[in-house]
Chains A and B, each alone.
Chain A
Amino acid sequence: MTHGVCIIGASHAGVQVAASLRDLGYDAPIHLIHGEATLPYQRPPLSKAYLADSVNADGLALRSPDYYASRGIELLSATHVHCIDADTRRLDLRAAPGAQAGTSLPDSLTYDHLVIATGARARQLPVPGGDLDGVLTLRTIEDAEQMKARLETARDVVIAGAGFIGLEVAATAGKLGKSVTVVEAQDRVLARLFPTMMSDFLTNRHKENGTAFLFGTQISGIRQQTDGRKIVDFSNGDSREADLVVVGIGAEVNDGLARLIGLDCDNGILVNREALTSCPEISAAGDCAAWQLPHEQNTSRTESVQNAVDQAKIIAARLTGNDIPEQVAPWFWSDQLDVKLQMVGTALDADDIVCRGEMESGRFSLLYYQGEELVRVDSVNRAIDHIAARRLVTQRIKLPKDAARDVNIKLKDFG
């Protein structure tokens, strides 16, 4: 008897594995194990449109309620995997919070192949008061609900971390008329990812939206006041009152199950080019998986929808004996105020950066070079460059710099 595929985690990667398996004609059982009680949903809008109330929970669903049954995918919601027995290929299951009483849940499942798509979790603020009511991270729909409710009455919002989550929440809270302060340990926003000129461009946009920035300092503690408000203390000795503290200081990989059974891990579950772990019956995909990107020496995790979906499609192709899709240069996007930021490529060690379009116009792309090769492109409100750049950066083409600067020459005409 065939047991089919079990998938732990029903976010972008897990759902895509199930969907692609069925699209490719896989006809054995598929169990999709979801830790939350909701339908599987999209995460990117949580810090953007969902927080701003322009989409509702229904609009977040990755697939319709009847999709899973209609494709023969057994969706187990509000279910946790307690442990994996890799020798007998068995999962031990437990009901998760939100599970409805009386729902019949199998105690265990046996698989022929296992896909771990457990993602990552928000890093908590490791300071006194970091766990107070009203100090929130943003990762799940439940987090977003709480944040939305708090934002309704909050006046002052302090945000720890000037990364994508922090800046997206700052944009939304600022637009809602809140007084927003972003606290960042580095000397500028997104310092590990961007050159100073891009950090400054983004900072100025947020300042125009009324957001204040405190650079080179971090939250050292949070104190609860009797009126429900908090005093947020900073390491530079300053402090500020807040009704809501948003923590956007990165994510930690959910690799606990994988480590318990001895899968090779190094800041993520290590997988090869085909998204297979060190165990031949176990794959991993999405935020929890680390692999080697083309042109990179080290393995890394990529926290993005594209990476999750592509790794999922690779797994489905392998399990059904189809051609493995090519690895592409990672791409990612962020919406902040009137800035639609799209990035492709991960190179941090470019030796030259060419600006295409005027930064002041709010519509430009930065093209990163190593020698003559195009290794990364960051686009601001130039989606047309981004779409072309996905192909050009994957191929690392030699794009003449004078053509790169000339917005009248289309990037799609190269490569």
Chain B
Amino acid sequence: MTKNTVKISFKQPSGAIKEIEAPVGQSVMQAAIFNNVDGIEAECGGSCMCATCHIYVPAESANLTGTASEEEQEMLGETAAERRPESRLSCQIVVTADMDGHTFDVPECQS
């Protein structure tokens, strides 16, 4: 692995945690799909069109993920699992160097 990756983790509703190496600059969704994280469907391939890559970003990581665009906000109104203030679409979050060690929560369902 080059230094251009960080370790991020995904926590399932069951409590199971999977840590992956995520390339900086890729979307969190891409990194999750590529590393076979369960519970992220991303059926549109990352175009902010399907709301099936929903994750919860815990408060301590929220400053690293930017804010949801108006378009993403709308899509979040259509998620299959409960929408919470921490809800984001992982296709719209770019992996950054300072995300190293952070954990995202996977919702109960995507569709």
Chain A residues with a Cβ under 8 A of chain B: 42, 44-45, 58-59, 61, 63-64, 67, 70-71, 305-306, 309, 333, 335, 340, 342, 381, 383-384, 386-388, 410, 412
Contact = CB atoms under 8 A, between A and B. Distances in A.
B1 to A, nearest CB: 13
Nearest to A387: B78
B35 interface: yes
B44 A333 contact: yes
Contacts of B33: 63
A388 B36 CA distance: 28
Contact of A384 (B26, B36, B44, B75): B75
B34 A387 contact: no
Interface of B: 23, 26, 30, 33-36, 43-45, 47-51, 71, 74-75, 77-78
A333 B49 contact: yes
Nearest to B71: A383
A63 B45 CA distance: 12
B43 A59 contact: no
Contacts of B51: 387
Nearest to A310: B43
Nearest to B74: A384
Q: Which of A333, A335, A410 is packed against the most chain B CB atoms within 10 Å?
A: A333
B18 to A, nearest CB: 12
A384 B78 contact: yes
B37 to A, nearest CB: 10
A305 B34 CA distance: 18
Contacts of B30: 59
A43 to B, nearest CB: 9
A384 B43 CA distance: 16
B93 to A, nearest CB: 15
A59 B36 CA distance: 14
A71 B38 CA distance: 13
A45 B75 CA distance: 21
B14 to A, nearest CB: 16
Given A305-B43, A388-B78, A383 B34 contact: no
Nearest to A379: B49
19 contacts: A42-B45, A44-B47, A45-B45, A63-B33, A63-B34, A67-B36, A305-B44, A305-B45, A309-B43, A333-B44, A335-B47, A340-B47, A381-B71, A383-B74, A384-B75, A384-B77, A387-B50, A387-B78, A412-B78
Chain B interface main SS type: loop
A333 B61 CA distance: 32
Nearest to B33: A63
Nearest to A48: B47
A383 B36 contact: no
A340 B49 contact: yes
Contacts of B77: 384, 410, 412
B30 to A, nearest CB: 6
B43 A306 contact: yes
Nearest to A61: B34
Contacts of B23: 58
A335 B51 CA distance: 17
A64 B44 CA distance: 18
Contacts of B26: 59
A357 to B, nearest CB: 13
Contacts of B44: 305, 333
Contacts of B78: 383-384, 387-388, 412
A347 B64 CA distance: 44
A335 B74 CA distance: 18
A383 B49 contact: yes
A30 B50 CA distance: 29
Given A44-B45, A61-B34, A64-B34, 15 more contacts: A42-B45, A58-B23, A59-B30, A305-B45, A333-B49, A335-B47, A340-B47, A340-B49, A381-B71, A383-B71, A384-B77, A384-B78, A387-B51, A387-B75, A387-B78
A44 B33 CA distance: 16
A361 B43 CA distance: 28
Contacts of A388: 78
Contacts of A71: 36
Nearest to A45: B45
